[in-house]
C-alpha cells in the first residue's frame, strides 16, 4: 500500500478545517532544514559512510519558537579518528549560525554507531541512550543531505526486529500479525521516557518542569501513538505480495520491511492523520488535531514558552498558562483514546490485545 505524505492536508479537506499552527510549523521546519543544508554546503565535510540526522521538532516538522536542533552524526562504517573532527566542525558551524543545540543529556550532538543500534537491542548493553537513539531513528528522524548511511541503518534496524520475530506471520502464511519485537521496544521506550522524566526532574531540581511536562503530554505521546499505529498497520493495512504457498521467512520479510519503511518516512503527525482518515470519526479527528494545533501555537509564542520554562512543579497547578496546556493535553488524550479504543473495532481489538497485554 501507499501512504500519502499529505495525509494532514487530506484530513483538513475532509473535515473542512484548517490548522494554522501545524501548517506554520511545517513550513518553518522546511525553511530550517534548508538553512542547515546551506550551513553544511561543503559536501566534503560529511564522509560517505555517515549521515547527519536530526531529531525532535525539526524531524517532526513542528518547528516553533525556541526549538532545539537535536542532531547526531550517524556512522555506518569503520571507526575513523576523523569522525570526531567532523562532529566538532558541525557543532562549531551550528554555534556560529546561532542554532540552539541539544540538551544536556548527551543523547544528541555527538556520534552514533550503527553497530550499537543494530546489534544491541535489549540486554544489559542496550542503554537508555542507545534505546532512545534507535527508537527515535525509526519514529522521529530526518537525514539532512546524503542519506545513504541513514537509509542503510534504518533498513538494518527494522530487519533486525523482524528477523528475530518469528510470530509476525500467521500460521496459514496468508496475513501478517503485529511485529511484537518492534512493538515491545516502542512500548519500552515510552515507559522508560516517562520514568526518566521523573528522574531528570529530581536531578535538575525541577528546571523547565512545566515545558517538559507539556511535551510529555503531547509531542512525546504523539510519537508513541505513531509507533503503535506503525506496528498495528502491518496487520490492518498489510503490504501486497503475500503468497500462501511461500513459507520462506526472508521472502516474507521483504514486503513487510518495505511497508515499515514507508511509515518511517512519515512524521508522527502524518501517521496519526493517516489513521484518522481511515479509522476515526470526524469528532475524534477534530479533538486530536485541534488540540495539537493549539499546543504548537502555544509553543510558538515566546512569552508562553518562557513562562512554561520558568514554572516549577509547585507553581504549575495554579498557573493559567500551564492549566491551558493541561486542558489541551486532556483533549488530545481523549481523542487518542477514541481513536485506539472506540471508533474502529479492529483497531480497538489490536490495542487491547497488543497495547495492554
Residue at grid coordinates 542519506: 147
Q: What is the pLDDT of residue 10?
A: 96
- The CA distance from 169 to 303, in Å, is 52
- Is the pLDDT at 250 greater than 60? The verdict is no
What is the pLDDT averaged over residues 132-161? 95
- Is the pLDDT at 269 greater than 50? The verdict is yes
- Is the pLDDT at 267 greater than 70? The verdict is yes
What does the mean pLDDT of the chain come to? 89
Q: What is the pLDDT of residue 1?
A: 45
What is the pLDDT averaged over residues 147-157? 96
Min mean pLDDT across 70-74, 123-127, 201-205, 285-289 is at: 201-205
- Is the pLDDT at 7 greater than 80? The verdict is yes
pTM listed for this prediction: 0.92
More confident residue, 173 or 313: 313
Instruction: State pLDDT tens for residues 195-213.
Output: 887 776 665 556 788 999 9
Instruction: State pLDDT tens for residues 296-311.
Output: 999 999 999 999 999 9
- Residue 211 φ/ψ, nearest 5 degrees: -65, -45
Residues contacting 66, CB < 8 A, separation 6+ = 100, 299, 302, 305
Point out which residues pair with 133 in neighbouring strands: none
- Binned at pLDDT 50, 70 and 90, residue 246 comes out as very low
What is the pLDDT averaged over residues 15-43? 93
- Is the pLDDT at 175 greater than 70? The verdict is no
- Is the pLDDT at 259 greater than 90? The verdict is no
CB 102 within 8 A of CB 70: yes
Angle, helices 7-15/268-279, rounded to nearest 10 degrees:
40
CB 287 within 8 A of CB 207: no
CB 289 within 8 A of CB 11: yes
- The CA distance from 40 to 17, in Å, is 38
Amino acid at each position: 500500500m501507499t501512504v500519502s505524505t499529505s495525509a494532514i492536508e487530506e484530513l483538513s479537506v475532509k473535515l473542512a478545517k484548517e490548522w494554522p499552527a501545524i501548517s506554520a510549523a511545517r513550513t518553518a521546519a522546511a525553511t530550517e532544514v534548508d538553512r542547515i543544508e546551506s550551513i553544511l554546503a561543503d559536501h566534503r565535510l560529511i564522509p560517505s559512510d555517515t549521515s547527519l540526522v536530526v531529531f525532535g521538532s525539526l524531524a517532526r516538522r513542528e518547528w516553533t519558537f525556541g526549538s532545539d536542533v537535536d542532531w547526531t552524526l550517524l556512522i555506518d562504517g569503520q571507526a575513523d579518528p576523523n569522525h570526531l573532527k567532523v562532529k566538532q566542525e558541525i557543532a562549531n558551524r551550528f554555534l556560529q549560525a546561532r542554532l540552539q543545540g541539544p540538551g544536556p543529556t548527551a543523547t544528541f550532538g555527538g556520534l552514533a554507531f550503527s553497530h550499537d543500534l543494530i546489534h544491541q537491542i535489549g540486554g544489559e548493553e542496550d542503554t537508555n541512550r542507545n534505546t532512545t537513539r534507535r527508537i527515535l531513528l525509526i519514529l522521529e528522524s530526518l537525514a539532512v543531505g546524503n542519506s545513504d548511511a541513514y537509509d542503510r541503518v534504518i533498513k538494518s534496524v527494522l530487519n533486525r526486529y523482524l528477523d528475530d520475530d518469528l510470530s509476525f506471520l500467521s500460521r496459514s502464511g496468508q496475513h501478517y500479525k503485529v511485529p511484537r519485537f518492534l512493538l515491545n521496544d516502542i512500548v519500552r521506550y515510552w515507559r522508560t521516557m516517562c520514568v526518566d522524566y521523573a528522574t531528570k526532574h529530581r536531578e535538575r531540581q525541577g528546571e523547565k518542569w512545566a515545558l517538559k511536562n507539556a511535551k510529555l503530554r503531547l509531542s512525546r505521546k504523539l510519537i508513541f501513538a505513531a509507533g503503535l499505529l506503525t506496528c498495528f498497520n502491518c496487520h490492518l493495512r498489510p503490504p501486497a505480495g503475500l503468497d500462501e504457498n511461500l513459507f520462506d521467512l526472508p521472502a516474507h520479510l521483504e514486503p513487510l520491511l518495505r511497508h515499515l519503511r514507508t511509515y518511517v518516512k512519515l512524521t508522527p503527525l502524518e501517521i496519526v492523520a493517516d489513521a484518522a482518515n481511515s479509522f476515526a470519526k470526524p469528532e475524534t479527528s477534530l479533538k486530536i488535531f485541534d488540540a495539537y494545533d493549539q499546543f504548537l501555537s502555544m509553543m510558538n509564542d515566546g512569552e508562553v514558552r518562557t513562562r512554561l520554562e520558568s514554572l516549577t512543579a509547585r507553581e504549575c497547578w495554579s498557573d493559567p498558562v500551564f492549566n491551558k496546556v493541561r486542558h489541551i493535553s486532556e483533549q488530545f488524550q481523549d481523542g487518542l483514546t477514541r481513536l485506539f479504543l472506540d471508533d474502529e473495532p479492529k483497531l480497538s481489538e489490536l490495542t487491547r490485545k497488543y497495547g495492554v497485554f
